[in-house]
Chains A and B, each alone.
Chain A
């Protein structure tokens, strides 16, 4: 079922890739350009799901995650990770991230992640 999804990534390219995957199934896709924007947009829109990049300027993904979880302990955050960021992803999950996906994004996996996390 479609939901409101927030994409937090400093690379517009990555946001567009995800948006192209998510939008066709009726999801409302919101975008944030860095961690602090991500927190602000989360508070404003309370999305059903967040795709959160880890490496970002200013406020990085982990800090952003902490702030989102502090605001809403039920927040559903999916970390967008690259190969080689295992420890960071582990940390993120302990902080409260629900799931993670690996770049490069596979459309089927992204959609599966959405359907598994928005129920």
Chain B
């Protein structure tokens, strides 16, 4: 066979799929160990992976999958039951397979002998780990004997004719033949088309059980000549030698059936490939180019308006439509279903729960929701963190839950859904929830807020303190349960993508974490505002609403400016002041209300320009990197640069 390298990528993709379906099957089997469909899924995945690995010469993967397949085969034949020990070993096998599949060429570095022994011990097979071992069940063999008359069903219905010769045919199989019994069956079937098999040595049953070396004898009654029989047998693969001699005396009855198989000669062109793989870098670069194109388009449109060039405007309208379509197409090609990262969570949750001796059920919904590849890559870690916290600190031990009158088994729901231009991911647990009072105390202790500030905070604001940097250093084993560990990192990450995060919790009843994510990070749907002479972009994901107020509506509570809307106290921040621009002294103020970590805040701006999609240019410049409050910049149609506000780090 020619160079295998071109198959490697395909192998990797399909192997990953099979490993994933094995993972899902095992998790389901843990709950429902006798589900025959799931058992079959597991069996098939192991089997297919074995075949692929054998083809690629990945011996260790082949051998391990082979043993796992045998085990599953015993299970599906009801020869053994899957208990939790068996599931654990299968999981161990799966883990090893995953490790080996990462770099399959080096899979021989892994010592799998111990694991294989464990699996074999499980399936109670005496035979040592030999790859040619065949699993044969008494039932199938018995069934074979009964329906195994030497005369196949498809002949013998017609009247037979006299005048046949009886021949002894001795067939020797090629030494490379692996399935000797199956090969013999082919021989006998082909012979039965030319005559009638009278008897065989050894018996048919023994041949089926492979109780012969390489040679077997068939006595056949036929009216065909020797040469034709010989040719017919030699046409079969893996036949080393055929000897045909006349049998003693007797005449027998036989029937001949010739089958004509004229090959179909009509040919059509071989179909071309339906899809191609493109690296994400290439898509990034395409996206970037489209971004530049859009900026230029906007610039042109502004020029056309300024110079009142009607003819140009018509052309630009169609250019506008085309660039929008182009942008949508590229964005669509970057979309991948969120289940790609959801898939690994059931296993992770199971493992953590098992380690902590908790019972947890993870329910996933909305796996088919699509997200930009880059966003997906970014939210993997934060979600891992959030789920780990749910199991670690949210869900109580079964005993505690029972005492609290809850189901001993905790439930975590991870739900993704689409909301306009965003994807919302909610992680809800029915654990012990958070105690806002403890959060206030810890925050004061950590010096994040003062005693007075803490008292001012609503319960919801208090638990959202866990997103504050510094809170995360809280001792993991305090009563606050370490919820804060790393949550500020999570918030920063989500914020930097133009998303938002908030916490809701009821003490004793559970916690809900809500992530709101943009569909893509490359293009940010923004509300454009003006402060002083500059334009800024506020990601729409953060914007709750905008409102116009009079200057005298502003009250001061403990030195901070707030306004009252619908009975709610809304702190406000004058961006002019924040950016060091002199106040314009206007009586009428425009406030953009943004959401940030559970609480809302009002940003006072000079002018709201409108909504626009802006192309994100990262602030990777050394001077600007690390500047808080801005997640990036964009180039406006007039060529000016607008900074994109990062509401989370702004204050």
A residues lining the B interface (CB < 8 Å): 1-4, 10-14, 16-17, 20-21, 23, 28-29, 46-48, 55-57, 73-74, 76, 81-87, 89-91, 93-94, 96, 98-107, 109, 112-113, 116, 118-119
| Chain A residues closer than 8 Å to B141, beta-carbon distance | 87
* With contact pairs A86-B134, A93-B185, A99-B237 given, residues A14 and B52 touching in the complex (Cβ less than 8 Å): yes
Residues of chain A within 8 A of B260, CB atoms compared? 74
User: A3 touching B10 by the CB < 8 A rule?
Assistant: no
CA distance A116 to B266 in the complex (A): 20
Complex CA distance for A14 and B266, rounded to whole angstroms? 26
27 A-B contacts (beta carbon < 8 Å)? A3-B263, A11-B14, A11-B52, A13-B55, A14-B48, A21-B1, A23-B270, A55-B44, A57-B40, A83-B179, A84-B133, A84-B134, A86-B134, A86-B210, A89-B185, A90-B144, A90-B208, A93-B185, A93-B189, A94-B148, A99-B186, A100-B186, A103-B51, A107-B1, A109-B237, A116-B237, A118-B263
**Max chain B Cβ within 10 angstroms of own Cβ: one of A21, A47, A104, A113:** A104
What residue of chain B has the Cβ atom nearest to residue A30's Cβ? Answer: B271
Q: Give the docked Cα–Cα distance between A109 and B237 (Å).
A: 8
Q: Which residue of B lies closest to A85 (CB)?
A: B179
- Do B14 and A86 touch across chains, with their CB atoms under 8 A apart? no
* Residue B91 CB within 8 A of the other chain: no
Given contacts A10-B48, A103-B51, contact A86 B182 (CB under 8 A): yes
B267 within 8 A of A: yes
Task: Judge whether B14 and A89 touch: CB under 8 Å.
Answer: no
In the complex, the answer to whether B55 meets A57 with C-beta atoms within 8 Å is: no
CB-based contact A12/B55 at 8 Å: no
Does B621 belong to the interface (CB within 8 Å)?
no
Q: Which of B24-70 contact A (CB under 8 A)?
A: 40-41, 43-44, 47-48, 50-52, 54-57, 66, 70
Give the shortest distance, in Å, between A37 (CB) and chain B (any CB).
Answer: 15
Count A-B contacts at CB 8 Å: 134
Decide: B264 and A112 in contact? CB cutoff 8 A: no
A1 touches B263 (CB 8 A): yes
Quick check: A84 and B236 within 8 Å, CB to CB? Answer: no
Which B residues are in CB contact (< 8 Å) with A16? 7, 10
Given the interface contacts A104-B51, A105-B55, A119-B261, does A94 sit within 8 Å of B134 by beta carbon? no
Q: Does the CB pair B181–A103 fall under 8 Å?
A: no
Give Cα A89–Cα B179 distance, bound, in whole angstroms: 9
7 closest residue pairs by CB, A with B: A89-B182, A104-B55, A104-B54, A103-B51, A93-B185, A48-B263, A55-B47
User: Which of A28, A48, A87, A98 contacts B144 (CB under 8 A)?
Assistant: A87
Q: What sequence of 0s and 1s flags, for each residue 165-193 of chain B, a beta carbon within 8 Å of any chain A beta carbon?
A: 00000000000001101110110010000
Give complex CA distance A12, B14 in Å.
Answer: 8
Chain A nearest CB: distance from B177 CB in Å?
9
B64 vs chain A, min Cβ distance (A)? 15
